[in-house]
Chain A
Amino acid sequence: MLENEIITTKNVHLYYGQKEALKGINLNFKEKGIHALIGPSGCGKSTYLRTLNRMNDMIDNVKITGDIQLNGQDVYDEKMDLVELRTRVGMVFQQPNPFPFSIYDNVTYGLKMAGVKDKNILDEAVETSLKKAAIWDEVKDDLKKNALALSGGQQQRICIARLLANSPEVILLDEPTSALDPISTDKVEEMLLTLKDDYTCIMVTHNMQQASRISDTTSFFLDGNLIESDTTKTMFLNPKEKQTIDYLSGKFG
């Protein structure tokens, strides 16, 4: 394991009942930066993402084998505390999913659940998180407003702010912009570019242009296999595998 690799996965298999959805994935992520996972629908990229903070645990009939480590710590260790894991590895979903509460209550949720009661700390966390998520200027005058009253793009940035308040190390993003219009997508992408210096972002995306625009490394999944993984530049300019070339040139998708 290299010094600056924050997540390492070795020979990860995942079964939904009899169906093998991940067929032995070996993939490591360096600290900081944006790492894109691309591939056609059903290739296992989202499933893989969800193994990293154990969100698959909730689905019945799932079996996972292999080795997944966060900072050298086995994520699937029996003693692993899910609360601790998920505050360190946060997740943003495809559909913006703010709670039907005020913006303030949304952003402070994670901290409150962790037992933080001091109003000064909460207030400060709200401001810094919303600023980092590039939405502070749009909502600062009305933090009591119901988050559901915001636009889709704003909701997604609230969700990211909500997660940043937990001070995670890794942010998992599961197609964070596929439900958004181009302008909102732009804003979310810009924001992610400012986050990548402080956080490790792992992003599943359907959108190859998005991967090429903002990611530092790209990994291509197909049929439950990892076909190729490299820096984004190499992947898009000089892919090695034929399947990668075919997918990137739009021969299938």
Chain B
Amino acid sequence: MKDEIQARILKKSKESYQEVWGKSLVIFCTLLICMLVISIFVFITSKGLATFFENHASLKNFFTQSTWNPNMSDKNGKPLVGALPMILGSFGVTLLAALIVTPFAIGTALFMTELSSKKVRNFLQMVIELLVGIPSVVYGFIGLNVVVPFIRNHFGGSGYGILAGATVLFVMTLPTVTSLTVDALKAVPKHYRQASLALGATQWQTMYHVTLRSASSGIYTAIIFGMARAFGEALAVQMVIGNASLLPTSLLTPASTLTSVLTMGIGNTVMGTVGNNALWSLALVLLLMSLFFNVCVRMIGRKDK
């Protein structure tokens, strides 16, 4: 009798086997994802650095020169990989778009969380989700047919350029920034607003001095996420930016971004050549920038605690 009980206790049950199996499955999935991320990083880094190590392009020229013609060499025999126009173009459209999107997103989010009725809020929520769902090629198409002619007719130039790109990106990032801002505002405890009103502040004062201030780090995060999205957007920007790898002299002259050069060039280069490696270098810059955006978001989140 005693032995029987002992044997039953010491024997592994079906559930404990399931436990081991379940744990291993989860760990396997996690490892796979980690492997994927690491290999992407290693791959892009090695490819991106090949331009400088194998093809002996100068790193300084990459960031400071403005001639992008990887298949040609300069007088020192180094490939012409001046990425400054694209880097400036990318930052230009991103910052400009962020500048336009921030007030609109905060305004919309405040209206949704503080002023509107539940019905209106749900409707707006639906509109925003719909905006997220529209494919970027459609945004680009609209940009090409509406924004570019509009800019051409009202501001002059060809219409293509940073202004057109930023306008399209403004519309594309608006839903992201707005919905993240809404989340940030919703996370502000109700009792802050109550306390403010009870102290004789008006609703507007409460929104401005308490709600926005308490949600500030969440709002910064929203803007940075929007900028990350804008920085990485390729197709729609490529359709309206003009794709000239020239140093942008104004918001109205054709320009290019890291992503637009990448999408344009991918089909026209052969793996292993200078031209192809140079594109990987651009991809590496994009990767590092998105890493930078992520770190920013992390830092803001940590400061909050």
Contact = CB atoms under 8 A, between A and B. Distances in A.
Interface of A: 53, 55, 58, 82-87, 90-91, 93, 95, 97-101, 109-110, 112-114, 159, 162-163, 166
A58 B199 contact: no
A102 to B, nearest CB: 12
Contacts of B191: 93, 95, 97
B192 A99 contact: yes
Contacts of B35: none
A134 B200 CA distance: 23
Contacts of B195: 93, 97-99, 159, 162
A55 B214 contact: no
Contacts of A91: 198
A142 B259 CA distance: 50
Given A113-B196, A113-B201, A113-B205, 16 more contacts: A58-B197, A83-B202, A84-B200, A85-B200, A86-B197, A86-B198, A93-B194, A93-B198, A99-B210, A99-B213, A109-B196, A110-B199, A110-B201, A113-B199, A113-B200, A162-B195
A55 B200 contact: no
Interface centre among B200, B209, B210 (most CB of A within 10 A): B200
- Interface SS of chain A: helix
Contacts of B200: 82-87, 110, 113-114, 166
Interface centre among A84, A90, A99 (most CB of B within 10 A): A99
A15 B118 CA distance: 21
A98 B196 CA distance: 9
B196 A55 contact: no
Contacts of A90: 198-199
Interface centre among B197, B199, B210, B213 (most CB of A within 10 A): B199
Interface string B178-209: 00000000000101101111111110010001
A127 to B, nearest CB: 19
Interface in B54-93: none
A162 B200 CA distance: 12
A166 B194 contact: no
B115 to A, nearest CB: 13
Contact of B199 (A95, A101, A109): A109
A85 B199 CA distance: 10
Contact of A97 (B192, B201, B202, B209): B192
Interface in B208-223: 209-210, 213-214
Contacts of B209: 109, 112-113
Contacts of A113: 196, 199-202, 205, 209
A86 B213 contact: no
A113 B201 CA distance: 6
Interface centre among B189, B195, B197, B210 (most CB of A within 10 A): B195
Contacts of A85: 200
Interface in B145-196: 189, 191-192, 194-196
B199 A87 contact: yes
Given A99-B210, A109-B209, A162 B194 contact: no
Nearest to A114: B200
B214 A162 contact: no
7 contacts: A86-B199, A87-B199, A99-B210, A100-B214, A113-B199, A113-B202, A163-B199
A87 B199 CA distance: 6
A83 B210 contact: no
Nearest to A106: B195
Contacts of A101: 213
A128 B191 CA distance: 25
A86 B203 CA distance: 13
A114 B201 CA distance: 8
B142 to A, nearest CB: 39
A214 B16 CA distance: 61
Contacts of B198: 53, 55, 86, 90-91, 93, 163
Contacts of A163: 198-199
Contacts of A55: 194, 197-198
B201 A109 contact: yes
Instruction: Name the 3 nearest CB pairs between A and B, nearest first.
Output: A87-B200, A97-B191, A86-B200
Given A99-B210, A99-B214, A113-B209, A83 B194 contact: no
